[in-house]
């Protein structure tokens, strides 16, 4: 019985593979100037390889006098091409993109201008790739000293921006929780000289009281809720508590808390302010910034510094400093 089931499964798989192969399209013979195809046919089967050779004094995209391409569902893996030995195929530079659309090939002494990816800068004194007798002289993009690595993994989240290995100073990323989880903290994180401002957390959503369930008097819950760096004040209705954060602390979450079925509704958090370093910056007599604030100030040498406050920690960039 088991052997019969196995035969049926194998037959089904073989039939599916045969059908998939049958549905794939063949490729028409490609056009090639100054060269020849082996074998030369009107069409070629899906997944078949085709070799081509170049006339004397010419080279293929492989850099030699011959090349190989593959038929992939009606399309060739690349266009066969034969060019002069002194010419160059389109250049590639690590961590950079060409400023203008590239050509298939370039004659000797041609140049292509590149721009480094974000988080990288030119290490060389030139920004152009130059074709010299069939070889490219390429610029080099190296990672900036102030760049940040890709943000660390945060459970149950995704980042809305595409993945990159490096991010520029002051670039930001935005986090989003998967379904069934709620975000705690700031959804935006900033690159501040090699380090990211504090990333959020995504925690499992707790069942919320149904709107149909009425709030009960405060006494039905055991004791007032504890809120770090904050306090609660019972309102005259005897049903609601109002949250007050300590001086300069910033409340994140609901202002009012109620007792429902013996449990407190969602509690807010109080985020700490940042004390500003007065040693090298003119803060206009300001001593503190509140959580989440971002502002630019004059330095004592007339340059500018950017400051971001993140729950008690101030991040400074500018004024000739990296981070302090």
More confident call, 299 vs 236 = 236
Q: What are phi and psi of 139, to 5 degrees?
A: -75, 165
Query: Is pLDDT of 324 > 50?
Result: no
Distance separating alpha carbons of residues 207 and 24, to the nearest angstrom? 51
Report the relative pairing of strands 83-84 and 181-184 from DSSP bridges: unpaired
Tens digits of residue pLDDT in 29-44: 999 999 999 999 999 9
Q: How many CA atoms lie within 13 A of 250 on its CB side?
A: 17
Select from 209, 324, 203, 195 the least CA-distant residue to 264.
209
Q: What is the pLDDT of residue 1?
A: 53
Mean pLDDT, range 64-89, rounded to an integer? 94
Mean pLDDT of 244-251: 92
Record the tokens describing residue 268, joined without a space: 């807010």
DSSP-assigned letters across all residues of 41-80? -SEE-TT-EEEEEE-TTEE-TTSSSEEEEEEETTEESS--
Cα distance from N-terminal residue to C-terminal residue, the chain: 74
Residue 321 has a pLDDT of: 52
d(CA 263, CA 215): 10
Does 67 score more than 70 pLDDT?
Answer: yes
Residue 8: its pLDDT value, please? 57
Cα angle, residue 42 at apex, residues 40 and 47 outer, rounded to 5°? 80
Q: HSE-up of 37 (CA within 13 Å, CB side)?
A: 19
- For residue 16, the model assigns a pLDDT of 53
**CB-based contacts of 270, cutoff 8 Å, min separation 6:** 227, 228, 229, 230, 245, 246, 249, 250, 251, 252
Q: Residue written as tokens 């760049």?
A: 147
The backbone torsions φ and ψ at residue 17, rounded to the nearest 5 degrees and listed phi first, read: -65, -40
Q: Given this model, what pLDDT does residue 205 score?
A: 79
Residue 88's pLDDT is 95
Tell me what the mean pLDDT of segment 9-26 comes to.
62
Q: What are phi and psi of 102, to 5 degrees?
A: -90, 155
Residues contacting 101, CB < 8 A, separation 6+: none
Q: How far apart are CA 202 and CA 207, in angstroms?
A: 15
Would you say 240 and 258 are in contact if contact means Cβ atoms under 8 Å apart?
A: yes
User: How far is C-alpha 288 from the chain's CA centre?
Assistant: 32
Tell me the percentage of the chain whose pLDDT exceeds 90. 52
pTM of structure: 0.57
Rounded to an integer, what distance in angstroms lies between the CA atom of residue 260 and that of residue 118? 51
- Helix intervals (H) in the chain: 2-23
Asked whether residue 73 carries a pLDDT value surpassing 80, the answer given is yes
Residues linked to residue 37 through DSSP beta bridges, in sequence order: 52
Which residues, at least 6 apart from 74, have a Cβ–Cβ distance to it below 8 Å? 24, 25, 26, 27, 46
Q: What percent of the chain has pLDDT over 70?
A: 87
User: Would you state the pLDDT for residue 323?
Assistant: 47
């Amino acid at each position: 019985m088991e052997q019969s089931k196995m035969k049926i499964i194998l037959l089904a798989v073989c039939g599916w593979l045969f059908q998939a192969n049958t549905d794939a399209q063949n490729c028409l013979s490609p056009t090639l100037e100054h060269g020849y195809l082996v074998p030369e046919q009107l069409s070629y089967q899906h997944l078949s390889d085709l070799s081509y050779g170049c006339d004397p004094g010419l080279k293929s995209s492989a850099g030699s006098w011959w090349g190989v391409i593959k038929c992939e569902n009606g399309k060739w893996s690349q266009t066969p091409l034969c060019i002069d030995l002194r010419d160059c195929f389109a250049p590639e530079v690590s961590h950079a993109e060409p400023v203008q659309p590239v050509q298939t090939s370039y004659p000797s002494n041609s140049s292509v201008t590149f721009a480094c990816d974000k988080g990288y800068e030119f290490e060389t004194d030139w920004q152009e790739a130059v074709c010299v007798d069939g070889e490219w002289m390429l610029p080099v993009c190296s990672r900036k000293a102030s760049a940040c690595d890709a943000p660390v993994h945060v459970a149950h989240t995704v980042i809305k921006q595409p993945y990159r290995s490096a991010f520029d100073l002051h670039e930001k990323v935005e986090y989003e929780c998967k379904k069934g989880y709620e975000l705690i903290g700031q959804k935006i994180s900033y690159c501040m000289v090699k380090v990211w401002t504090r990333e959020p957390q995504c925690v499992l959503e707790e069942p919320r009281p149904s709107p149909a369930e009425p709030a009960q008097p405060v006494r039905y819950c055991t004791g007032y809720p504890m809120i770090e760096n904050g306090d609660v004040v019972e309102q005259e209705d005897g049903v609601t508590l109002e949250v007050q954060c300590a001086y300069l602390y910033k409340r994140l979450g609901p202002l009012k808390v109620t007792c429902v079925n013996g449990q407190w509704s969602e509690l807010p958090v109080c985020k700490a302010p940042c004390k500003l370093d007065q040693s090298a910056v003119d803060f206009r007599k300001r001593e503190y910034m509140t959580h989440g604030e971002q502002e630019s100030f004059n330095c004592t040498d007339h340059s500018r510094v950017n400051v971001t406050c993140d729950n008690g920690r101030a991040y400074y960039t500018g004024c000739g400093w990296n981070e302090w």
